[in-house]
Structure 1
Amino acid sequence: MSEATERPYILHMFTATPQMSPFDVNMAADAGYQIVVPYSHVDASNVVQLTQDAIFSRGPKGVSRTGIFIGGRDVMLAADMLDLARQAMVPPFEVSVFADPSGAYTTSAALVALVERHLKAEHGEELGSKRVLILGGTGAVGRVSAALIASLGGNVSIASHSDASRAQRVSDEVNQRFSIKTKGIGVGTADSLHAALAHADIVIGTAAAGVQIVTSADLAHAQPMRVAADVNAVPPEGIAGVNVMDNGKPLAGAARPDAVGIGALAIGNVKYQVEHRLFLRMRTGGKPVYLGFTEAFDEARAIVAGRS
């Protein structure tokens, strides 16, 4: 009997929510995992026990064909669970772990990599030191995007249309957890939104699907804006003029004639490739790896640069 038949590729999928995302289950299977087992209601209190159950049951050869995926919806909890799972390893009983809660790590990685690429290609500028406004920034993708951009030196404002105090709380949380510097602001009125747009070099929309957060009239106030990126794939456009297919297309209605837009499907295409590559790296890399949003961003950069 062959080694592959004796020891199948097994992926244990942990989530704090009642169910694992079918999207991630499909992605794992398409990356070559033969047995995919979801576990619900897993959090920081039991991730160590489950991890050690997974590593000690197959022997040193079996662990090379075993992986752990961390999903859920809470990006902060997923980061903590990734750290706890790593600390639970007892070499040579050690397996790869990949965290991507709500797809936020891979989506944010794709978004920021594309913003970085088009800012450089169209304007000859680097993302570090740029003023970046993340609208709807208190959600999962907003938080991780803020962490990535701030780590590159960007001046990040996390904005909420409904609750300025929540925006500040989220800013404080990500600053403390990831050792970065952002600020939280409210854009609940037209005047406050226009003031924020008037100081933003980059505008990113990560609000709920189907909600327009920047209208055509609002765009006139975004005088310095070079790039607008929006993850909303459900009409209407989250940022007016940014079509879901846009990938560096000139943004109609923008104050700057050289401003470009990046839409949800362009971001999604890179996100899909990032997630697939990270699952493959876990399964075929030959040694344990620990994959969070930093590693996802490295992969996204390689993809947008055309590197295999």
Structure 2
Amino acid sequence: MSEATPILHMLAPQKHMSPFDVNMAADAGYKVIVPYINVELNEVAGLIQDAIFSRPPNYGVRTGFFMGGKDAILALDMLDAAKKAMVPPFECSVFADPAGSFTTAAAMVACVEKILKEKFGRSWKGVKVAVFGATGVVGFASSIIAALEGADVQLVAHRGVERVIKNAKISKERFGVDLEAVAGETPEQKQDIIANAEVIFAAAAAGVQVVSAEHKKLAKNLKVIADVNAVPPPGVEGMELFMNGEPIPGCDALGVGPLAIGDIKYKCESGLFKQMIDSDKPLSLDFRHAYALAKQLVGI
């Protein structure tokens, strides 16, 4: 491994680079961190080549790019643009984690998977999953990860089903997964979804409760419910922050709370940064690599 100084270039398509991600990168071991804001997709190749040609090839493994922002597809497009801009042997490592969504989604799916295996003897194959907050970056990423593992995934629309239909189409085109877009705008629609789900991912906006006490009474098939919302009220009524397989009051399901997920998310993002620093070859990391590491972290 090269002893060159580890440098990380962090690209954000919006006004600010996330302080969370900057801190994570610094604590993981990057010595020089440079944020770039308002970066457009067509600018990525130039930035990559400016970086790789400034250092000898053996320093490339100590040069990293991070794709941030709040748009999962744009971050993946930026990752692809970065890979296409490499000119071997002049290369560097790249890592996409927009709004921390890929590592958060990976952590949530892995935490739930551990409980499914240990408590119910189930894998993801054929498990009925309902994703609330499906248009957000965490909901989007978690739905794809679960579907790739064989789950039957519903994307729940709380305000216009067109947006989740679009996400389902994108997921099919890019990842070959079949996601079902369902309307959950009326109380009756939501009740039907919850009554039939075996796993629920509550990934709605902070402070929005998507599963109430009344909903839980209807959840006769529900085995596990995960909630990434740490801002009161919880996304799932009765969910405690550190729940990790304990029964949720008011139903038979087991809960995974936001800080249990957050612990794995933190270790996952840090771990992927460290993988880039320690690798002897350039890496390209997205939600699939985050999920593989999250599974190791939870012990499955």
Global fold match (TM > 0.5)? yes
Q: Which amino acid aligns with 2:14?
A: T
Does residue 44 in structure 1 map to residue 41 in structure 2? yes
Runs of 4+ displaced beyond 6 Å: none
AA partner of residue 156 (structure 1): V
What CA distance in whole angstroms lies between the structure 2 residues aligned with 1:138 and 1:304? 27
Match of 1:249 in 2: 246
Q: Residue 262 of structure 2: which of 268, 282, 305 is its match?
A: 268
| Contact 1:175 1:182 (C-alpha < 8 Å) held by counterparts | yes
Give the match for residue 153 of structure 1: 150
Paired residues in the alignment total 299
Please give the residue correspondences for 1:188-203 in structure 2 after superposition, counting only pairs within 5 Å: 188-203=185-200
Distance 2:221 2:61 in 1: 50
Correspondent of 2:283 among 258, 281, 289? 289
Give me the whole-angstrom Cα distance separating, in 2, the residues matched to 1:30 and 1:274.
13
The separation in 2 between residues aligned to 1:61 and 1:300, in whole angstroms, is 29
2:232 counterpart residue number? 235
| Structure 2: runs of 5 or more not aligned | none
- The residue type paired with residue 198 of structure 1 is A
Deviation of residue 91 (structure 1)?
1.3
- Give yes or no for the alignment of 1:209 onto 2:206: yes
Match of 2:104 among 99, 102, 107: 107
CA distance in 1, matches of 2:34, 2:124: 40
Q: Which residue type is aligned with residue 271 of structure 2?
A: R
- Tell me the amino acid that sits aligned with residue 21 of structure 1: S
Letter in 2 for 1:58: R
| CA deviation profile, 1:261-295 (whole Å, cap 9, x unmatched) | 00100000000000011000000111111100000
How far, CA to CA, are the matches of 1:19 and 1:72 in structure 2? Answer: 8
- Alignment correspondent of 2:7: 10
- Give the equivalent residue in structure 2 for 1:165: 162
Q: What is the deviation of 1:147? A: 0.5
Q: How big is the shift at 1:27?
A: 0.7
1:61 matched to 2:58? The reply is yes
Task: Give CA deviations for 1:219-256 in whole Å, capped at 9, x if unaligned.
Answer: 111110000000010111111122111011111111x3
The one-letter amino acid paired with 2:11 is: F
- Give the secondary structure class of the aligned counterpart of 1:37: strand
Is the CA contact (8 Å cut-off) linking 1:228 and 1:242 kept in structure 2? Answer: no
CA distance in 1, matches of 2:123, 2:235: 25
2:32 pairs with 27, 32, 35, which one? 35
- For the residue of structure 2 that corresponds to 1:118, the secondary structure is helix
Distance 1:171 1:244 in 2: 30
Q: Distance in 2 between matches of 1:170 and 1:91?
A: 34
How far off its partner does 1:177 sit? 2.1
Identical-pair percentage:
44
Residues 1:19 and 2:13 are matched in the alignment: no
Find the residue that maps to 1:46 and give its secondary structure.
helix
Correspondence for 1:131: 128
Aligned to 2:293: 299
Contact 1:151/1:180 (<8 A) preserved: yes
**What SS class does the counterpart of residue 166 from structure 2 fall into?**
helix
Query: Does the 8 Å CA contact 2:60/2:282 hold for their aligned counterparts?
Result: no
Say whether the 8 Å CA contact 2:61–2:279 is kept in structure 1. Answer: no
Kept in 2, the 8 Å contact 1:64–1:288? The answer is yes
Deviation at 1:64, TM superposition (A): 2.5
Q: CA deviation at 1:175?
A: 2.0
Q: Is the 8 A contact 2:61 2:276 kept in 1?
A: no
Partner of 1:222: 219
Question: In structure 1, how many angstroms separate the alpha carbons of the residues matched to 2:83 and 2:170?
Answer: 22
Q: Does 1:174 align with 2:167?
A: no
